[in-house]
Amino acid sequence: MPDLLTDLRDAIGSEHVLTEAADVEAYAADWRGAYRGTPLAVVRPSSTAEVSAVVRLAHDAGVAIVPQGGNTGMCGGAIPSGDGSQIVLSLGRLRRIRAVDAPGGTITVEAGVVLADVQAAAASVDRLFPLSLGSEGSCTVGGNIATNAGGTAVLRYGMMRAQVLGLEVVLPDGRVWDGLRSLRKDNTGYDLTQLFIGAEGTLGVVTAAVLTLHPATPARATAWVALPSVAAAASLLPLLREYAAERLTTRELVSRPALELVVDAGLQDPLSSDASWFGLIELAGPAGSSVDVDLERALGAAIELGLVLDAAVAGSPAQRTGLWALRERVSEAQESLGPTIKHDVSVPITSLSSPVDQLAPVLEAALPGIRPIIYGHVGDGNLHYNLSRPVSLPGDDFVARTESLSRIVHDATAALGGSISAEHGLGSGKAAAASAYKSEVEVDLMRAVKAALDPAGLMNPGKVLPLQ
């Protein structure tokens, strides 16, 4: 493709069109090394106009584009195919915060802005941007929008979808749709903004967004609890809400094997409990609010009812950070056991203990010695039912069994009316499985949307919907 590469260099500068193996390496594989591709080139435009020029040139040359933000995704959505035919479009240079409107409760940011920088910009005007993920120091707003990211504050604020008021999108043919509105109400037809959220870059490239800001919540009360069972973790939710109402922000679950991983990595276990399940609870409110009293009363009631066995409450910001790390570091700590087969399932909250109770013996029968590392966002009915290899099985042999092992987890989830991807999306890794669990009508509708917006099929092909 010498002509296309020359045109791209003319459009955005030759130093931003990378083709050398050493230069493209960081964009060619995901952070776990679970997905690897071979990009034709990596292009790094710095503005919406440059993104538009790149996409138009690629479209006219019939070359596919793979958008990439912070490359922290879990399902290979930002990784190109292995045949050297696709361009990775990195949004990392679109990193301007265009406007902050504290009284109006909005912030307008470009797609490459890192999530932690949006949170900091909100805090600098005494507001909160509530999306919170373990990857917030690296993931970008564009990736958060494209995956409809979830995380640890969904219980109170909803997913990324709920934070987006307007979008600017470069369409697959290079046209720019300026939907950067900050309206709270707008019923003028199909909701195009929502259509691009969670589309994983298959319908267009998000270049900027108007996001909502919330009142700051400087008063925080955080506890790490030992739990008798997953059923107790589920029953705890309505009880906590009784005491904390909307101030309940976080309700996370960590199994003992997951806790042991972060403790082995150097973190301190604040309870010497032999429980099988643990949880992180956080209440947050405006300055002066009584979240600590509410938490104490709620925990007292939970202990009395046998829903909580023991609790450690953070007495300082440093202790709070320590409790949060016990949950947030699990994902990375699991990689120390070798390759992980990841699952991101959601079920109705009242069914939460079913997959946990049912799956362990079935998986053990399928692969003796397999190690489930379970944790997740229990307040949202979302479990990361991740699997690590038996100690004696080589990593490659374990990975080769992904399809059959995942089918066990996904079948059990589907039987409960659940979803096989609660928050991570589908990428290339789960696209085929998701289509298999959806009805023909639903898959037809999704294909019709894709064909309407991307008739040439050049925008992140093979992601979300499998290639036909």
Interface contacts to ligand FAD, rule CB under 6 A: 31, 66-74, 77-78, 91, 111, 133-135, 139-140, 142-144, 146-147, 149-151, 200-201, 205-206, 331-332, 423-424, 427, 460, 463
User: Residue 209's beta-bridge partner residues?
Assistant: 109, 167
Query: Is 134 or 285 the residue whose CB approaches ligand MLT more closely?
Result: 134
342 binds, among ligand FAD, ligand MLT, none (CB under 5 to 8 A by kind): ligand MLT
Nearer to ligand MLT, 202 or 386 (CB): 386
Concatenate the DSSP letters of all residues of 246-280 into one string: GGEEEEEEEEHHHHHHHHHTTPPPS-----SEEEE
What backbone phi and psi angles, to 5 degrees, belong to 278? -135, 165
Q: Which is closer to ligand MLT, CB of 63 or CB of 141?
A: 141
CA torsion through residues 223, 228, 234, 239, sign? negative
Site string for ligand MLT, 340-359 (x = CB under 6 A): --x-----------------
- Taking the alpha carbons at both ends of the chain, their separation in whole angstroms is 25
Is residue 134 at the binding interface for ligand MLT, with CB under 6 A as the rule?
yes
Q: For ligand MLT, which is the closer residue by CB, 204 or 376?
A: 376
Q: Residue 222 or 331: which CB sits closer to ligand MLT?
A: 331
d(CA 227, CA 233): 7
Q: Among ligand MLT, ligand FAD, none, what binds residue 384 when CB lies within 5 to 8 Å by partner kind?
A: ligand MLT
Looking at 337-415, list the stretches that DSSP marks H as alpha helix, in order from N- to C-terminal side: 353-366, 395-399, 402-415
Question: 227 in helix, strand or coil?
Answer: strand
Residues 370-389 within binding reach of ligand MLT (CB under 6 A): 384, 386
CB atoms within 10 A of CB 411: 13
CB neighbours of residue 416 within 10 Å: 18
Nearer to ligand FAD, 45 or 77 (CB): 77
Q: Total binding residues for ligand MLT by CB under 6 A?
A: 6
Looking at this protein, which amino acid is placed at residue 297?
Answer: R
Among ligand FAD, ligand MLT, none, the one that 217 touches (CB under a kind-dependent 5 to 8 A) is none
Q: How far is 219 from 361, CA to CA, in rounded Å?
A: 43
Instruction: Tell me which of ligand MLT, ligand FAD, none is bound by residue 143, counting a contact when its beta carbon lies within the kind-specific cut-off of 5 to 8 angstroms.
Output: ligand FAD
In whole angstroms, the minimum distance from the beta carbon of 447 to ligand MLT comes to 28
Residue type, 452: A
The least CB distance from residue 276 to ligand MLT, in Å, is 19
**Binding partner at 275 among ligand MLT, ligand FAD, none, C-beta below 5 to 8 Å by kind:** none
Integer Cα distance of 216 and 432 in angstroms: 41
- Give the footprint of ligand MLT on this chain (CB under 6 A): 134, 330-331, 342, 384, 386
